[in-house]
Amino acid sequence: MTLARPMRIVVAGTGTEVGKTWTAVKSIERARAQGMRVAARKPAQSYSSEDRVTDADLLAAATGETAHEVCPAHRWYPVPMAPPMAADALGRARIELSELLEETRWCEAADVTLIETAGGLCSPIAHDGDNLKLIERIAPTKVVLVADAGLGTLNAVRLCLRALGAMPTVVFLNRYDEQSELHRRNRAWLASEGVTTCVDIESVVEAL
């Protein structure tokens, strides 16, 4: 891979529960194994109050940072809703996109800073903006779009790619099974449209 320093990578998803955090953690581990210095950021996170480990905890464990370096303490919302909805439910202040951008600082000491969004691409991450708007303002080196490999992924991926426009994007088909005809055909269809797809973490890191 060609390494630009520092690289700014956004991990986004076609929806919830597609494996963004797993993908981010495994990519971090792979990149660090190759000798790269990696930092992680999550502008805001919402979660169940019963969760013992949050996304920020997992990302911090992968990079060696603290969880509050990954996600500021006041951006932890212990309600399983989109962050601005969780803030409302908790009676906390509005989340402004400009504030998230100001707080989400790239680590200049790292070769790669990876930022994970919350929810799907068009899920609201602030009261005045969604993940797509956040990504547009960040202008990352590349977007890793995590998608499920199965039924419905063509629609989800193609809609997200249209929204992302000209932003450099690689699609990671998570939970890909080479033995599944549907998975193989989904990948082939996207490839026929010129979409860069990966089905393993090694390929994701190489595509950066």
- Digit-coded pLDDT (tens) for 77-96: 999 999 999 999 999 999 99
Residue 34 belongs to a domain: yes
Residue 53 belongs to a domain: yes
Q: Which pLDDT belongs to residue 76?
A: 98
Residue 122 belongs to a domain: yes
Q: Which pLDDT belongs to residue 35?
A: 95
Annotated catalytic sites, by residue?
A: 42
Burial class (CB in 10 A: 0-12, 13-18, 19+), 7: buried
The dihedral through the CA atoms of 26, 194, 130, 112 has a sign that is: positive
Query: What is the spatial distance between Cα 30 and Cα 24, in angstroms, rounded to a whole number?
Result: 10
Domain count, the chain: 1
Residue 149 belongs to a domain: yes
Residue 2 belongs to a domain: no
Residue 1 belongs to a domain: no
Whether 89 contacts 79, CB under 8 Å: yes
Query: What is the spatial distance between Cα 194 and Cα 158, in angstroms, rounded to a whole number?
Result: 11
Domain span at residue 127 reads 7-207
Burial class (CB in 10 A: 0-12, 13-18, 19+), 56: buried
Residue 148 belongs to a domain: yes
Mean pLDDT, each 10-residue run in order, the chain (208 residues): 67 96 98 96 96 96 97 97 98 98 86 96 98 96 97 98 97 98 98 97 92
Q: Which pLDDT belongs to residue 150?
A: 97
Residue 139 belongs to a domain: yes
- Name which of 156, 157, 44 is nearest 103 in CA terms: 44
CATH of the domain at 93: 3.40.50.300
- Name which of 169, 78, 102, 106 is nearest 132 in CA terms: 169
